């Protein structure tokens, strides 16, 4: 049997060990530091400064955060965007993930024909550019020349049609559903892969035990892919804060109507880069980005401590 690595490294001269560590860990550390840690720290540092119209910066401590959360001019759009993010997230959790799980379950049934075809078709939107998806749905749902109203009329449901993307009450949910439509392929594929990992004999044993396909899914398959489902939930949570492009391409930076679709991504964009009459304010933008970072961190910590520790992975 080979010697354990810890023995080998213990006997190595320190200089040689350091060289070895540098060789294996160095590249990753350099890249990670350069492109992840440095920007993060720089952003946090920037958020503690303010710049006057002449362009010179001065240190203000946590004043930017006080403004962001305390000054109604800033806090109102901030809380609005955070609330919208929450709705965006809930729609994804309640629609995208269950639909993804259901599609994966259907694909994993024995004897489904054209599996490869369905899999590709359902994954296709994920590979499209968000700009194209946003533009297409804008056209489809347009009350003037969209096919949606005509299609509904054709099946006698014309009265149900409304300019969903234009109404304050429905714009955000509509955009969320467009995003769900585009990205449902990702949870589907991840969960499908996990389902394929379940041994055939286990399913056979359940069949001998008298379970139908539906019960097999709920009592056997679902519990066994729970770790993947929780992973998908985390991905959904993080992606939700990165969402920006769809809203920007469909609604522009103002996230209308009347900021009904404004999420933290678009709010940050307007703050940092400016928009129309609003001047760009990099230091306030950095403060928004820092708050977003801590919200994501909090969410992940809650997940790690409350959920991850209770979930068991099964080796087959």
Partner 1 sequence: MANLRIEQLNKRYGATTVLNDVNLSIEDGEFVVLVGPSGCGKSTLLRMIAGLDGASGGDIHIAGKLVNTLAPAERGIAMVFQSYALYPHMNVRKNMTFGLKFTGVPPTERERRVAEAARMLRLEELLERYPRDLSGGQRQRVAIGRAIVREPAVFLFDEPLSNLDAALRVSTRVEIANLHRLLKSTIVYVTHDQVEAMTLADRIVVMNKGCIEQVGKPLDLYYEPANLFVAGFIGSPAMNFFEAEVKGIEGGRARVTGAAFRDLDIPAASLKVGDRLTVGVRPEHLVRGEAGAFIAEGVVELVERLGEASFAYLRRADGRMFVAEVRGRRTPAPGETVTLVAAGPDVHVFDASGLRLAT
Decide if residue 211 touches partner 1 (CB under 8 A): yes
The answer to whether 279 and 221 are in contact (CB under 8 A) is: no
Decide if residue 220 touches partner 1 (CB under 8 A): yes
Q: Which one of 60-68, 146-154, 195-203, 279-287 is the stretch in contact with partner 1 (CB under 8 A)?
A: 195-203
Q: How far is the CB of 235 from partner 1 (least distance, A)?
A: 23
Taking alpha carbons only, the member of 189, 221, 195 closest to residue 121 is 189
Residue count, binding to partner 1 (CB under 8 A): 20
φ, ψ for residue 261 (rounded to 5)?
Answer: -110, 15
φ, ψ for residue 58 (rounded to 5)?
Answer: -135, 150
Q: Which one of 87-95, 172-180, 214-222, 268-276 is the stretch in contact with partner 1 (CB under 8 A)?
A: 214-222
User: From CA 237, how far away is CA 90, in angstroms rounded?
Assistant: 9
Q: Name the H helices within 58-168.
A: 63-70, 72-91, 97-107, 115-127, 130-141, 147-154
Decide if residue 196 touches partner 1 (CB under 8 A): no
Site string for partner 1, 71-110 (x = CB under 8 A): ----------------------------------------
Q: How far is the CB of 101 from partner 1 (least distance, A)?
A: 17
Token pair recorded at residue 31: 């890249």
Decide if residue 307 touches partner 1 (CB under 8 A): no
Nearer to partner 1 by C-beta: 46 or 225? Answer: 225
Q: How far is the CB of 217 from partner 1 (least distance, A)?
A: 14
Q: Distance between terminal CA atoms of the chain?
A: 26
Decide if residue 316 touches partner 1 (CB under 8 A): yes
Token pair recorded at residue 284: 């306030």
**Strand segments (E) across the chain:** 49-51, 57-59
What residues line the site for partner 1 (CB under 8 A)? 199, 201-202, 204-211, 215, 219-220, 223-224, 312, 314-316
């Amino acid at each position: 049997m080979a010697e354990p690595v810890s023995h080998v490294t213990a006997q190595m001269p320190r200089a040689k060990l350091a060289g070895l560590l540098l060789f294996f860990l160095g590249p990753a550390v350099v890249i990670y530091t350069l492109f992840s840690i440095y920007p993060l720290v720089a952003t946090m540092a920037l958020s503690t400064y303010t710049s006057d119209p002449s362009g010179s910066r001065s240190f203000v401590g946590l004043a930017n955060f006080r403004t962001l959360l305390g000054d109604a001019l800033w806090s109102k759009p901030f809380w609005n965007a955070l609330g919208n993010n929450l709705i965006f997230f809930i729609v994804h959790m309640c629609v995208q993930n269950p639909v993804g799980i259901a599609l994966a379950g259907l694909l994993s049934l024995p004897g489904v024909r054209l599996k490869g075809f369905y899999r590709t078709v359902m994954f296709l939107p994920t590979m499209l550019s968000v700009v194209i998806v946003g533009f297409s749905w804008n056209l489809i749902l347009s009350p003037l020349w969209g096919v949606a109203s005509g299609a509904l009329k054709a099946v006698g449901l014309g009265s149900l049609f409304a300019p969903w993307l234009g109404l304050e009450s429905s714009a955000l949910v509509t955009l969320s559903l467009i995003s769900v439509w585009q990205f449902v392929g990702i949870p589907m594929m991840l969960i499908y892969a996990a389902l394929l990992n379940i041994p055939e004999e286990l399913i056979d044993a359940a069949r001998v035990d008298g379970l139908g396909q539906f019960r097999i899914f709920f009592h056997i398959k679902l519990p066994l892919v729970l770790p993947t489902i929780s992973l998908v939930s985390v991905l959904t949570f993080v992606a939700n804060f990165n969402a920006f492009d769809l809203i920007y391409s469909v609604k522009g930076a103002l996230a209308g109507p009347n900021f009904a679709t404004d999420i933290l991504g678009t709010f940050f964009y307007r703050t940092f880069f400016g928009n129309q009459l609003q001047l760009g304010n990099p230091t306030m933008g950095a403060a928004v980005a820092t708050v977003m970072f801590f919200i994501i961190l909090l969410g992940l910590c809650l997940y790690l401590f409350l959920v991850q520790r209770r979930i068991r992975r099964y080796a087959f």
